[in-house]
Structures are given as structure tokens and as C-alpha cells.
Amino acid sequence: MDIIYVLIIISLLIIFSYLFDAFARKTKFPAVILLMGTGIVARALSDYFGYQIEYLDQIIPVMGTIGLILIVLEGALELKVNREKLSVILRGFFAAFIILLLNVVGLTLFFQHSLDMPGNVAVMNAIPLSIISSAVAIPSAAALLPLDKEFIVYESTFSDILGIMMFNYSLKQFTSGGDLLGFQPLSLLLLEIGGIIIASIFITWLLFELIESIDQKVKFFLILALLILVYAIGKKLHLPSLVTIFIFGVFLSNSTSLLPEFIRKYVSLKKAEEGLHEFHILTAESTFIVRTFFFLFFGFSITLDSFVDGYNYIYGGIVLGIMLLMRLLYMLVAERKSLKSLVFISPRGLISILLFIQLQTPEYAQFRSTLINGKVLLLVILGSMLVMLFGTLSVKRKNPEADASASEEAALGEELAMEDVNQES
């Protein structure tokens, strides 16, 4: 294809993605569905005219991994950690952890007893389907009350982290022939997490020093490159290196309150805070671009026959029903006050796709399932987003005055908090 046409197509796709985002903010309709739909239409046209994209199977995992790092980093930069928010942080963590476990157990039992899957195959296919997509959930929570929105931010971010750690741990145990729930492997996992947290604090100090010492205008892409390098090395060593990305983002956005004293002595917090805004913008823009092309390419990998087989709809519907049931049970027990607004926000997205793709590689062929395939995953993703859409729209229609009042209170609270910070400084 002529290079001019390629440039035109790339430019139009980015423009359409911006328009999709604007449309999503107005209507709360997930932009991800529009991106995947565009990719599916593009695939149909490409097949009709005989065009193909080479190395698509290699492009999607690479873009997905970069997108994963950026999404976790952006989510961490959004988190504000202080005593006042400790309650909602703990609520979000326990919700993410318990709902993730409930989903994995429920789906594993269904896969084993109804689809006759071996235990290890059932677990490995259940985990990707159990992880909430923070990239989709956080923007969609904008219509909720401020406290409920904060809860979704923390829950979905922790779900990403915990889900990936659970997936990598289970994959490591099954491929090595070890016990999944043995005392020794779980103890080793906790030691690895503790070690990676200590290493992350040291890496954070190095990155803060780097931010302070580099005078060139172009420095934040260097930071991103180093974070990707740290993630890749940790991934190669089978360590939970995503924790490093998360810790760096949290420390960067909460440098005045979280950084240890030995780090604060040697770095200029004022300079770091000045660079935070620029770094946050860069991360958000990079996430937007990577997310755009990831979901476009993922949609492009889908053919129209994916929507023909009736069994895919049955399995996808059952999986979606189990997901919603487990979430409803938890919310009935722990979050009854916000039941109607929180129970529907449980979308699946990039991380589910990325982990599922990993299971399709020759290295992990033993974990593939012909019944729970990419077509079922697609239907679960679309179904969870549509359920979230209808849920958020119904909540917004019921609570427009409460939303406005709560937003005003939150804005006033933020102003008072900023005044307190300024007085302290």
C-alpha cells in the first residue's frame, strides 16, 4: 500500500478515536466498543479487497504489554493516598481481592464440572475472565457519586495488579508441576512481593534522582523506557515486576506524604511535583495512543464468523452471569449502601485479552481450551461493557441531583484540602 494512504489511515484512526472518546463522555457509551467495532469493520473490508496486516499476532501482544504498563502507571498516578482515604483504599483492595477469588472459583467450577476441563486449564482460563479493566471502569465511573467513583478507581486498579500476579503465579506453578496452594510456594510468593517492594523503593529513588538531574526537555520518555525495561527484566525472572510500576506511580503522585525520609533528603520534592503534571499528561497521551491501536488491531483480528456459533453466546452468557452473581453477592454483604451504583461496573478489557493471548502461544499450548476461546472472550467483554453502560445510565437518571450535590461537596473538600497543604508547606 502507498505510504501516503497509510499516513492518511493512521491519522483518521487517531481522529476517530478522539471523537469516540468525546462521544463516550457525552453518552457514557464505552469508546472501546467503538474502537473494536471499527477494527471489525476494517477487517471485513480488508478481506473483501484482499488486504492483510502482516505480523498481527506479534503486534497485538507487544502493544498490549506496553498498554498494560501505561494503564497501571496512569492508574497509580491517579491515586491519592492519605489518612482520610485509607478507608476507601482498604475497601477497594478487599473488594478487588475477594471478588477476584470468587470469580476464579466460580468459573473454575463451571469449567470443570460443565465443560469437563482439567483443573489447571480451568484455572488458567478463569483468571483472565475475572479481572476488571481499570482502563474502562475508571472513565465510566465519572457519573457516580464521588465516594463510589473513588472506590471504583481503587478497586479496578488493585484488580489489575492482583489479577496479573495471580495469573503469573498460577502459570509458574502449573508449568513447574508444583502445588497451587502449598505453604512453600505461597510463602515464596510473599517473599518475592516483599523483595520487589524494597527494590521498587530503591528504583523509585533512582528515578527521582534522574528526574532531578536531567536538564533536557526530553526526559519523561526516558523514564518510561526505564520502567518498561524494569518490567521486562522482572517478567523474564518471573517476578511480580508490575508492582514496581505501581509503587513508582503512587510515590510520584504522593511524594510529600509517602516517600521515606532517606529519599526526601536527597531529592527536590518541589521539582518532582513540577514535573508530575507534565509526566501525567505524557502518560495519559501515550496510554490513549496505545489503547487506540491495541483495540483497533484486536478488532481487526476478529472475523464476522465469530458471531455465528450459538454455543459461544451460551458460554459467554453463563460466564457473564457468574461474574455478575459473584459481584452481587459481595456487594450485598459489604457495600449495601452503594449496591445499585457499583454492582454493574465490572468490565473486562485489555488485560483479559492480553493474558488470554499469552495462553494461545505454543509455550503454553497445554492451557488452551476450544470451548472458552477468543470468541467467547470477545462476547464477555462486549456483554460486560453493555451491562456497565445500562447500569451507569440508570444510576445517573435516578440520582442527578445527588450527583451534582456530591460533586460540589467533593470540590469544596478538595479546595479545603489544598488550603491545608499550602498552609503546612
Domain range annotation of the chain: 54-424
Report the candidate in 85, 103, 83 with the shortest Cα–Cα distance to residue 95.
Answer: 103
Question: What is the per-residue DSSP string for 71-106?
Answer: HHHHHHHH---SGGGHHHHHHHHHHHHHHHHHHHHH
Closest CA to 239 of 168, 180, 175: 168
Q: Which amino acid is at 356?
A: F
Give the integer Cα–Cα distance in Å for 292 and 286.
Answer: 10
Q: Which three cell numbers stand for residue 326?
A: 459473584
Quick one: which H or E segment has residue 60?
Answer: helix 56-78
What pLDDT was estimated at residue 326? 93
Q: Which residue bears the cell 490513549?
A: 288
Length of the chain in terms of residues written: 425
pLDDT tens, per residue, the chain with 425 residues:
568 878 888 898 889 888 888 888 777 777 888 888 888 888 888 877 777 777 777 788 888 888 888 888 887 777 777 777 788 888 889 999 999 999 999 999 999 998 889 988 999 999 999 999 887 887 777 767 778 888 888 888 888 888 888 898 888 888 888 777 777 878 887 887 787 778 777 777 777 777 667 766 667 778 888 888 888 887 777 777 777 788 878 877 776 666 666 666 666 656 666 666 777 788 888 888 888 888 888 888 877 766 677 788 899 999 999 999 999 999 888 877 767 778 888 888 888 888 888 888 888 888 888 888 888 888 899 899 888 888 777 765 555 444 444 444 444 444 444 444 444 43
Q: What is the pLDDT of residue 76?
A: 79
CB 391 within 8 A of CB 343: yes
**Chain position carrying cell 471502569:** 137
Cα angle for residues 221, 354, 352 (degrees, 5° grid): 120
pLDDT recorded at residue 369 = 84
Q: Which residue has the cell 492483510?
A: 52
54-424: CATH topology: Na+/H+ antiporter like fold (1.20.1530)
400 burial via Cβ count (<10 Å: 0-12, 13-18, 19+): exposed
**Sequence-separated (6 or more) residues with CB below 8 Å from residue 234:** 196, 240, 241, 242, 244
Residue 68's pLDDT is what? 80
For residues 88 and 342, the answer to whether their CB atoms sit within 8 Å is: no
- pTM of this structure: 0.80
Judged by DSSP in three states, 335 sits in coil
Among candidate residues 51, 78, 239, 47, the one with its CA nearest the CA of residue 157: 78
Q: CA 173, CA 181: separation in Å to the nearest integer?
A: 9
Q: What was the pLDDT predicted at 403?
A: 43
